[in-house]
Amino acid sequence: MSLHDLPHLNAALNALSGVLLVIGFVLIKSKRIDAHRRTMLAAFVTSSLFLISYVVYHAQAGSKPFPGTGVMRTVYFSILIPHVILAAAVLPLALITLRRGLRMDVRRHRRIARITLPVWLFVSVTGVVVYLMLYRLG
């Protein structure tokens, strides 16, 4: 795998994380707690692998400027800015949520998971959109 492959890997890891989050949500709504726990741990591992790959890529390659202009540039930055802000919040939210879940502090886990899930899902989905706009559409 080369440095050039990492953005594609990052998009795949983001997409997989998003899918795992949705599956985890469905599982907990079905009261399948053990399957929910395993799925959410897999989502966390997937997101952690993404973060490592992302840092390695950007430490080596730097930033890729958006090549588009006009309305597409505005759309791109309207997606990128909240993505970046919320991405910074996801790691501490996920860690707290995961810790409370693993400790079976159900009341506090649910309370923070109601915030963590939509933020994490938004970051995963918009990460894929940013990738598509930079590497596929641009």
pLDDT at 129 over 70: yes
pLDDT at 107 over 90: yes
What would the pLDDT profile of 85-99 be if each residue is shown by its tens digit?
999 999 999 999 999
Contact 126, 83 (CB under 8 A): yes
Residue 39's CB: how many other CB atoms inside 10 A?
21
Rg from Cα positions in the chain? 16
Domain at 86, CATH number? 1.20.120.80
Q: Which of 61, 123, 128, 57 is nearest to 90 (CA)?
A: 123
Q: Position 84: which residue type?
A: V
**Which pLDDT score, from 0 to 100, does residue 1 have?**
84
More confident residue, 44 or 67: 44
Question: Chain-centre distance of CA 3, in angstroms?
Answer: 20
Contact 43, 28 (CB under 8 A): no
Domain that holds residue 98: 3-136
Regarding pTM above 0.85, the answer is yes
Start-end of H helices in the chain: 6-29, 33-61, 70-102, 106-131
The residue with tokens 């938004």 is 122
pLDDT at 31 over 70: yes
Q: How many structural domains does the chain have?
A: 1
